[in-house]
Structure 1
Amino acid sequence: MTSRNILVLSAAVLVAVAACAQPKAPPPAPSVHMIATNGHRLAFHDTPGHSPAIVLDAGGGEDSSYWEPLVAQLSAATGSRIITYDRAGMGASDETQGPWDGRAAASDLAAGLRTLGVTGHAVLVSHSQAGEVAAYLVRANPGVVARAVLVDANLPQFFTDPQIKRIVRTTAPQIEELKKQPSTKKNRQLIATADGFGPTHRAFHQLTWPADVPVTVIVSEKTPFDGSPPDARHWRSAAAAFVAAGPGRTLVTARGSSHDVPRDNPALVLQETAKMVKE
C-alpha cells in the first residue's frame, strides 16, 4: 500500500470514528391522542417514524408508561413509527364496567389503530395478559398485523380446565383481600380480571393463531410461577405447544429472566422486534 493510500485510509477511519462518536439524536416526541371507541376514550401515544409501525401492548395492571425505556431504543434501532396505548381502565384511558374481556380489548386496539391510520403491516409486541388481546386482534382484523412478538404472553394452550380451576382456587384469597382495600384503578382492573375468569379463559383456550402471521414467542426462564414448579412447567410447555401448532413460529427463552422480560432483558425484546421489522 502506498503512503498516499495509507493517508486516505487513515482519513476515512478518522471520519468514521468521529461519526460514531457523535451523540445520537433523541427520538421524536410522541403525540397523544384520546380516541373514542365503544363508548369510552383511550389514550394512544404515537412516536413518529416510518412503516412498519411497531405496536407495544403492556401486560395486566400496566399502562403505556411500561414501554417508555424501550420506545427510545426501538425508535433509534429501527426508525419505525411506534405506538403505545393505555387499555381501558389503565393510565389516562376511561374505565369500563364488567369483567375482563379480551375481545373487547382487541376491538378497542383495532379502532385506535384505524383512527391513527395503521391499517396493515404492523409489528405487534405483546406482554403477559396482552397475549390474549393479540390473539383476538389478529383473528378479527386480518392484514393489520404482519408479524408479532409475544413476550411471556398468555397463550391459549396454557388455559386448560385443570389450570383454570387451579388459578381460580389459589388466587381467590388474594382477590378477596383486594376487595377489602380502598378502591383504586389498578385494584379494580385486577378484580375485573378475576370476575368471570373461568368462562373467559375457556373461550380463549379454543382460540387458534392465524397461520399467515409469523410470531416469535419469548418465554421467561423463571415464568410468572417461579415459586410453583408444576405451574412453571405447564407455562413453558404451553409456549412450546403453541409454537409447534403452526408454521412461522419461533420459540426463544429469556435466560435468567423473570416474567418481567421487557425490564429484565430489554435487549432481547429489542433484538427480536427489530428482526420482525427487518423481515
Structure 2
Amino acid sequence: MRHFYFKFLIIFFLSLSIHSQTLDTLVDVGGYKMHFKIIKGEGTPILFEAGGGNDASVWNNILEKIYNVTSTTLITYDRSGFGTSELNPNLKNDSDFGIENGITELETGLSKLGYNNEIILVSHSYGGLYNLLYAHKHHKKVKSVVLIDATLSNFWNDELLTMRDNNVDISSIKKPSGDYYLNVNFNETMRHMRNMEFPNSIPVINIFPKNSFSGFPEVLSNRWRKLHNEFNNHKNNVENIIAYGSAHAIFQDNPGLIINTIIKAYSETLDKNQQNVLLQKALDNAIELSIQAKKTEMENKHSESDLNEWAYTFLRNEELEKALEIFKLNTILFPDSWNAFDSYGEALLKSNRKAESIEMYEKSIELNPENETGKDVLLKMKQE
C-alpha cells in the first residue's frame, strides 16, 4: 500500500509540474495571431505537426507521457485558419495562403517564442509535407523526423489529383478558412512538393499501417501502401516501421508505439550518460503503456461492436446457432442499441425465424426511426 501511495504522489506532482510549465498562448506573427501550446522543458524541443484539417488538440493524449520520460520541450500549434489561429488579413489571393506561407508563419512563431534552433519534427498525414519543407529549409537544425502515416511527396500524381478534383467540391467549403485554402491550393502544393526528399543527413522514422485508407479506391490505397513500403529503399537515413492493426491515426490506435518511437528519436540527441538515465524512465513508461493497452483491450473486448463482429463471423461461416446466441446476448447487454436488434433480426431471418425477425426489426426501428434499411426489410417480410 505504501508503494502504491508513493507512486500516486509521484504521478500527482508530475501532473502538477506539467500543468505549471505549460504555455498556451496566441503569438503575433505579423498583425494576426497563431495559437501555440508548449510544455516547457530542457533539451532538444519536439515540434508536432497535425494532419490536414486538424489542429493541435489531436496530440493531447500522448504529450504527457512523452514529457514524463524526456522532460524536453514539446510544441504543438494550430496552422493558420485552424483551431484558434487567425488568417493573415493582408493576403489577397488564394495562392498566397499556400504551404510556403504556412512555413513562414511557423518560422515566425517559433522565432518569437525562442525555439528557432535545433529541433525534432513529428508529423501525421498532410503534416508530413510541412516537416519535409521545414527540413529542407533548416537541414542543419533538424535533428530527426518521425512520420506517422505521412503524405509522401510523390504520392499525388496527376492521375490521383484529377480523381480528387472530381470528388472534392471546393465551392461547398466555407471561405475564408484554413480548410478552404488547404483545398484550393492542394494541387499546387502537391506539385510543388513532388519528389522532394528529406536530406540524407536527417534520420527519418517512417511509421505506417499495413492497410491505410482501406475504404478508399484501390488505386489510391494500393499506391499509398506501395510508396510507404518503398520509402526506405536505398536510403540509409530512413527506418520503416509497420504499425500492424492500426488505421491512419496510429497515435490513437497504438499510442505506445508512437510515444516510444518519439522517445527513441529524442534519445539520439543525448550523450551516453543521459541515455542511460532516459532508458530507465522509458522502460517504466513502456510497462505503464503496456498495462494501459491491456486494460483498454479488456474493456473493449465485450463491447457492442466487438460482440456484433464476432457474431457476424459465425454468420459468414454459416454457424447460425452460435451467431444467434451472440446476437441475442448483444441485445440483452445493450438494450438501447438499435443496431444490435437490427443485426439479431437479420440473423433470425437467415434462420427462417420470420416472426421473431419481425419483432427484432420493429424494436430496432422503434429505437432508431431513421433506420431506413430496417424499414425496407420489415416491409418486405410483412408483404410476403
Instruction: Report the Cα offset of residue 116 of structure 1.
Output: 2.1
Aligned to 1:197: 186
1:66-85 CA-partner distances (Å, limit 9, x unpaired): 11111111111211111111
Instruction: Report the Cα offset of residue 125 of structure 1.
Output: 0.7
Q: Secondary structure at the match of 2:80?
A: coil
List runs of 5+ in structure 1 lacking aligned partners: 1-13
**Please, which of 70, 75, 80 is the counterpart of residue 78 of structure 1?**
70
TM-score calculated relative to the size of structure 2: 0.62
List runs of 5+ in structure 2 lacking aligned partners: 269-384
Q: Secondary structure at the match of 2:114?
A: coil
Aligned to 2:125: 128
1:82-116 CA-partner distances (Å, limit 9, x unpaired): 11111100111102462552222122222222222
Q: Is 1:28–2:25 an aligned residue pair?
A: no
Q: Is 1:47–2:44 an aligned residue pair?
A: no
Cα RMSD for the two superposed structures: 2.4
TM-score calculated relative to the size of structure 1: 0.83
* Residues 184 and 62 of structure 1, relative CA distance in 2, 3 Å threshold: farther
Aligned to 1:11: none
Alpha-carbon separation, structure 2, partners of 1:147 and 1:68: 21
Instruction: Report the Cα offset of residue 263 of structure 1.
Output: 1.3
**Please, which of 89, 108, 113 is the counterpart of residue 110 of structure 2?**
113
Asked if the contact 1:157–1:241 (Cα under 8 Å) also holds between the matched residues in 2, the reply is no
Higher-Rg member (1/2): 2
Q: Which protein has the bigger strand share?
A: 1
Q: Is 1:210–2:194 an aligned residue pair?
A: no
Asked if the contact 1:53–1:82 (Cα under 8 Å) also holds between the matched residues in 2, the reply is yes
Instruction: Report the Cα offset of residue 224 of structure 1.
Output: 3.3
AA in 1 matched with 2:66: L
* Residues 278 and 16 of structure 1, relative CA distance in 2, 3 Å threshold: farther
Alpha-carbon separation, structure 2, partners of 1:19 and 1:109: 42
Alpha-carbon separation, structure 1, partners of 2:240 and 2:145: 12
Aligned to 1:149: 146
Q: Secondary structure at the match of 2:178?
A: helix
Q: Secondary structure at the match of 2:213?
A: coil
Aligned to 2:79: 87
Aligned to 2:255: 266
Q: Secondary structure at the match of 2:239?
A: strand
Alpha-carbon separation, structure 1, partners of 2:219 and 2:110: 39
Aligned to 2:54: 62
Q: Please identify runs of 4+ aligned residues in structure 1 that moved more than 6 A.
A: 14-18
Asked if the contact 2:82–2:179 (Cα under 8 Å) also holds between the matched residues in 1, the reply is no
Alpha-carbon separation, structure 1, partners of 2:54 and 2:150: 14
Asked if the contact 2:207–2:240 (Cα under 8 Å) also holds between the matched residues in 1, the reply is yes
Alpha-carbon separation, structure 1, partners of 2:142 and 2:80: 21
1:209-267 CA-partner distances (Å, limit 9, x unpaired): 11111111111233135333331111112223332253211111111211111211111
Q: Which protein has the bigger helix share?
A: 2
Alpha-carbon separation, structure 2, partners of 1:116 and 1:224: 37
Q: Percent identity?
A: 23
Asked if the contact 1:107–1:137 (Cα under 8 Å) also holds between the matched residues in 2, the reply is no
What aligned pairs does 1:151-190 form with structure 2 within 5 A after superposition?
A: 151-172=148-169, 175-176=170-171, 178-179=172-173, 183=174, 188-190=177-179
Instruction: Report the Cα offset of residue 15 of structure 1.
Output: 9.3
Asked if the contact 1:165–1:198 (Cα under 8 Å) also holds between the matched residues in 2, the reply is no
Q: Secondary structure at the match of 1:206?
A: coil
Alpha-carbon separation, structure 1, partners of 2:81 and 2:155: 25
Alpha-carbon separation, structure 1, partners of 2:252 and 2:86: 26
AA in 2 matched with 1:75: Y
Alpha-carbon separation, structure 2, partners of 1:134 and 1:222: 23
